[in-house]
Amino acid sequence: MRKVKRRHPFRGIISGLLLGVSFFLFSIIYGIVFLGDLTPWVMFGLGLLIGIAFIFVPAPWGRKPPPQPTVPPAPSASTGGAGASGA
């Protein structure tokens, strides 16, 4: 069995860009200027980084343990003679 991680880099980058735009605008609208002129751009970068970081985060749902290898059932003594015991 092989473990396969299905990542979604496109979703992460788009989400990060959207978050970045949101942080950029909110920092201007609400006057968050702790870094001066750079603040909105830093906030944009922060949003983008969050989106990229989530590409490498495992989903908390749908985790499955590795399936047990299927072993063919061992032949038992009663196989084929179950009906012969007769009452």
Contacting residues toward another protein, per CB under 8 A: 1-8, 11-12, 14-19, 21-22, 24-26, 28-31, 33, 36-37, 40, 47, 50-51, 54-60, 62-64, 66-67
Burial of 20 (C-beta count, 10 Å sphere; 0-12/13-18/19+): buried
Q: Which residue has the tokens 């751009």?
A: 41
Quote the least distance from Cβ 81 to another protein, whole Å.
Answer: 35
Shortest distance in whole angstroms from residue 57 CB to another protein: 5
Rounded Cα distance, 83 and 72, in Å: 23
Q: Which is nearer to another protein, 30 or 79 (CB)?
A: 30
CB nearer to another protein: pick between 66 and 72: 66
16 close to 50: Cβ distance less than 8 angstroms = yes
Two tokens, residue 42: 């830093």
* CB closer to another protein, 22 vs 78: 22
